[in-house]
Homo-oligomer: A and B are copies of this chain.
């Protein structure tokens, strides 16, 4: 039996959630879009280590602030070489200045998650299901964990953090109420120096991720 590792790597580009896809260079499904991933290099390679290796080789990302197991997928009949089982990992990358390029087998692009979920983009294997479950995991974890900070760079403004929630949940939030909630959740974010960054309007204070991983009170996703 063969064990593969596949990565659902989420990030923000502009106002919307994106996932990293590659064009497969080999059969099966050559030329189709797929998640970055591959077989374990050798029998003794650790699964988590393999995930990190794929992150570097195929996605060109050296270090992401969040990497967690997502599930496993049988994919019977995936490959003529035999039974293949995929271990899927969810990774969250901060906003990147440049599109990911110059990677392993083929090119890698950030693609809107909506295009994948609505089937406007067809993905190889059962990778669309992996994306769906990765996004759902992110949506749930945003409520009661500090996952949102993984989408941001080391320091960030509160409105940048708000964009994360708006993109992942696909809702519009009131900035003023968002301020209050985020600041009240103890240990979620802490001020990062008196510096400020400039953009267009009034400069904003900078924060960084706090020590607390579970949020209390949680960020409630309202009924709407």
Q: How far is the CB of A206 from chain B (nearest CB, A)?
A: 28
Q: Are A46 and B1 in contact (CB under 8 A)?
A: no
A44–B83 Cα distance when bound, in Å, is 7
Q: Which residue on B lies nearest to A48, using beta carbons?
A: B74
Q: Encode A105-121 as 1/0 by CB contact (under 8 A) with B.
A: 00000000000000000
Q: Shortest distance in angstroms between A171's beta carbon and chain B's nearest beta carbon?
A: 14
Number of interface residues of A (CB under 8 A): 25
CA gap between A143 and B141 in the complex, in Å:
12
Tell me, yes or no, whether A220 is within 8 Å of chain B by CB: yes
Residues from chain B with Cβ under 8 Å of A87 in the complex:
72, 85
A3 close to chain B: CB less than 8 A: yes
Chain B residues within an 8 Å CB radius of A46: 74, 76
Report if A201 contacts B (CB, 8 A).
no
Check B85–A43 contact: CB distance below 8 A. Answer: no
What residues of B have a CB within 8 angstroms of the CB of A211 in the complex?
Answer: none
Please measure, in the bound complex, the distance between the C-alpha atom of A80 and the C-alpha atom of B58, giving whole angstroms.
33
Residue numbers in B under 8 Å from A74 (CB-CB): 46-48
User: Would A85 and B140 count as touching, CB distance under 8 A?
Assistant: no
A140 to B76 alpha-carbon distance, docked (Å): 31
In Å, the complex CA distance between A71 and B220 comes to: 27
Q: Contact at B43–A82, with CB atoms within 8 Å?
A: yes
For the complex formed, measure the closest distance between the CB of A136 and the CB atoms of chain B, giving whole angstroms: 10
Closest 10 pairs (CB-CB, A-B): A69-B71, A43-B83, A47-B74, A72-B87, A1-B1, A72-B72, A216-B223, A46-B74, A1-B3, A3-B85
